[in-house]
Amino acid sequence: MSDNGPVQIRCPVLNVRRVDAYYAITVVAPGIAERFRSGQFVTVGVGGDHSSTLLRRPFAVHDVKPDYGGTVEFLFSVRGTGTAWLSERRSRDLLDVVGPLGRPFPLPRDPVNCVLVGGGSGGAPLFPLAQSLRRRGCRVDFVLGGASADRVFSALSARRIAETAAFTTDDGSFGTRGRVTDVLGRVIEEARSDAVYACGPMEMLRAVTAVAGSRGVPVQVAVEETMACGTGICMTCVVPVVGGDGITRMARACVDGPVFRGEQVRFDDVGTIPFDALGAPGWKGSSAARAAESARDIA
Amino acid sequence: MGRVGPDLRIRLGGVELPNPVVTAAGCAGAGRELDRFFDIASIGAVTTKSMMLEPNAGRPAPRMAETPSGMLSTTGMQGPGVDVFLQRDLPWLLSRGGRAIVSVAGTGVGEFGELARRVSDAEGVSAVEVNLSCPDPGAPAGRHFADDSERAAAVVRTVRSHTRSGLPVLAKLAADVPDLVALARSCVEAGADGLSMINTVRGMAIDTRSMRPAVAGGLGGLSGPAIRPLAVGCVYRVHEAVPEVPIIGMGGVRTGEDVMEFMAAGATAVAVGTTSFSDPSACARVLRQFTEALEARGVGRAADLVGAAHGSGAGV
């Protein structure tokens, strides 16, 4: 057991609120709040102790505050029985929360210019990131997109925190009609961005990585994969990722991610086992690859 | 002033474990991830993820679908290969004071023997578990070694002959086989010192929007409380047939009471599997609840529970 690792706690709900098309729940969770770094997520048990819905739901953390010793807010949309149950929670109900989980966004040492790109509820984890970057003296610009106006998350906060904030919607009901990548290139140029951070659907992350890459700007992406455990043991949330050693591995989004360097994610091969991945059918590993694997410290 | 609690020790083959709560293979890695939530040395043993001879990338996504009181999964046994496991993961677990039951999965009978030899040569292993729910290359596609008692026995015999004496060999049985009791007997006759049961049950969920199976490859392994009565029934039947053989019972264990149930059916030890996905502290909680349940009933020795539901006695 380690002191800076995740904790599992029964947290009282402070409040549940509607935010456009989403719900936001704030829980009192000092142990999680004090350990949290932006990009990390929590998992929440749904349906109560005797529920037939076994699996925890993973949520990015939208906000952490020092009130009541430490509160954590996460955002979700109702997609099934689990999230419907969550949306019906009320103040003082208890939730079983585990966190913080996963690798956080790496932060730049110097006060550089950063553009933060979010799709739908994927915008949520960018807000604590923006605060961290601002505290380091970084310039922050936002690009947030969604299917429609009510799915562009927290436009007001984005305007308040960031130097500039651009918005896109698929239906044109808010901001520019189109995708975040339709405006990203312009934002990067105008803001002279040095780094891009992105969270959202895999397709969006692929496109953002391509736009940033074509301008030579490094990009960190936080993936949103379905997962059973969130702690690294179930092996269901894997994504093909190229390591620093050039070897592709089926990396666990929950513990090896959710944050990866964009260019290291093999977006074209998501949902497959690339033929050259470590241990793919017919794979013949070199002794060097094995030695590298053995030396790796995964946990 | 320490109060003397119940004696939780149990024996699996020739090996003593401090208590009967272990992890199920594939539900705890090699213990490292769960050790962030409880002391991994506090439970009976960690049954490690099934190790293959070579690194294995596993199956494509989607690998998982939630089902009522359970889940379907098909990871394809992704792992780094047995050598990396023995050099990196096993030493970590032993250094933390944990005990290791090492699960092995071969692509053929001979490979099981090689796996057993390498695991047997490593120091500090408590037992070898043979995952018989691996595709049998000598059988039609989709058939596992466990589907044929003689093929399963051939694997167990090979593993036993490549494992040093004194190191117990446990055969991991599947429930969805033609004759479970015959399978259990064959494995015991082939040299298994104990049996682990049950593995996941082959099942399917279909996404009715796409009209395609919800997990890649179609069939997945069903686990969780949905299969618990099935698992308890299997343990009961096999204990009745071979009462002298220790069994690690598993399938949807969620609480200390569930451990009591499996032990009453005939299990000597009980594994927590899918519940560790939903509750990373589950093993420690289940052990605590089990200990409290023994105290509440005035049971002094956990081992006395084994098979309590059999026969005409009043039970505990």
Q: Tell me, yes or no, if B103 comes closer than 8 A to chain A by beta carbon.
A: no
The structure tokens listed for A6 are 């995740």
Out of A23-32, A120-129, A277-286, B29-38, least confident range:
A277-286
Contact A226 B64 (CB under 8 A): yes
pLDDT at residue A181 greater than cutoff 70: yes
The Cα–Cα gap between A113 and A125 comes to: 18
Instruction: Tell whether B37 lies on the interface with A, counting CB pairs under 8 A.
Output: yes
Give the containing element (helix H, strand E) for A266. none
B87 and chain A in contact, CB less than 8 A: yes
- Inter-CA distances, A272 with A128, A223, A268, B303, Å: 33, 16, 9, 47
Cβ-based contacts of B32 with chain A (< 8 Å): 298-299
Percentage of chain B surpassing pLDDT 90?
A: 92
CB atoms within 10 A of CB A212: 27
The answer to whether B224 contacts chain A (CB < 8 Å) is: yes
> Is the pLDDT at B314 greater than 80, yes or no?
no
Q: Under DSSP, is residue B200 helix (H, G, I), strand (E, B) or coil?
A: coil
DSSP reduced 3-state for A195: strand
Joined together, the tokens standing for residue A266 give 């093999």
Alpha helix stretches (DSSP H) within chain B: 82-84, 90-95, 109-121, 149-162, 180-189, 228-241, 256-265, 275-278, 282-297
> Does the distance separating the beta carbons of B32 and A299 come in below 8 Å?
yes
- What residues in A contact B62, CB-CB < 8 Å? 226, 236, 271
What is the arithmetic mean of pLDDT over A161-175? 94
**Single-letter code of the amino acid located at A278:** L
Residue B274 near chain A (CB below 8 Å): yes
Considering only the beta carbons, identify the residue of A236, A250, A295 that sits closest to B73: A236
Q: Do B36 and A96 touch (CB under 8 A)?
A: no
Structure confidence at residue A251 (pLDDT)? 96
Verify whether the Cβ–Cβ distance B54 to A279 is below 8 Å. yes
CA angle A179, A183, A184 (to 5 degrees): 100
> Which chain A residues touch B280 with a CB distance below 8 Å?
6, 8, 98, 229, 231
Least confident interval from A6-10, A120-124, B279-283: A120-124
Which pLDDT score is estimated for B312? 62
Instruction: Enter the tokens of residue A224.
Output: 């949103």
Task: Output the pLDDT for position B3.
Answer: 63
Substitution target from B35, B36, B39, B48 for chain A, most A beta carbons within 10 A: B36
Q: How many residues does chain B have?
A: 316
Tally Cβ neighbours within 10 Å of residue A57. Answer: 21
Asked whether the predicted pLDDT for residue A40 surpasses 70, the reply is yes
**In A, residues 94-113, which contact B (CB 8 Å cutoff)?**
96, 98
Restricting to A residues 236-265, those with a Cβ less than 8 Å away from any Cβ of B are 236-239, 249-250, 255
The band of B142, judged by pLDDT with boundaries at 50, 70 and 90, is confident
* pLDDT above 80 for A207: yes
Q: Does the CB of B28 have a partner CB in chain A at under 8 Å?
A: yes
**Chain A / chain B CB contacts < 8 angstroms:** 141
Of A227, A237, A255, the CB nearest to B33: A255
Looking at the complex, report in whole angstroms how far the Cα of residue B202 sits from the nearest Cα belonging to chain A.
17
What is the ipTM for the molecules in this complex? 0.92
* Chain A positions in Cβ-Cβ contact with residue B59 (cut-off 8 Å): 273
pLDDT the model gives residue A50: 84
Contact flag B71-A54 (C-beta cutoff 8 Å): yes
- Write down the pLDDT at residue B141: 84
Q: pLDDT confidence of A277, banded at 50, 70, 90?
A: very high
Count of CB atoms situated within 10 Å of the CB of A244: 8
A residues 153..182 contacting B (CB < 8 A): none
Nearest-Cα residue of chain A relative to residue B67: A53
Using pLDDT thresholds of 50, 70 and 90, give the confidence band for residue A154: confident
Minimal C-alpha gap between B85 and chain A (Å): 8
What is the Cα–Cα distance from B248 to B22, expressed in whole angstroms?
A: 9
Which of B42, B43, B63 to mutate: most A Cβ within 10 Å? B63
Over pLDDT 70: what percentage of chain B?
97
Longest dimension (CA), chain B: 64
Report the C-alpha dihedral over residues B159, B163, B168, B170, rounded to 10 degrees: -20
What is the pLDDT at residue B102?
98
Whether residues B60 and A231 touch (CB distance < 8 A) is answered with no
Residues of B marked as catalytic: 134
- Does pTM top 0.90 for this prediction? yes
Contact across the interface for B64 and A285, Cβ inside 8 Å:
no
Cβ within 8 Å of residue B146, ≥6 positions away: B132, B133, B152, B173, B174, B177, B183, B199
Nearest 5°: CA angle at B134, between B131 and B137? 140
Contact: A1, B38; criterion CB under 8 Å = yes
CA distance A182 to A203: 14
Q: How far is A140 from chain B (nearest CA, A)?
A: 35
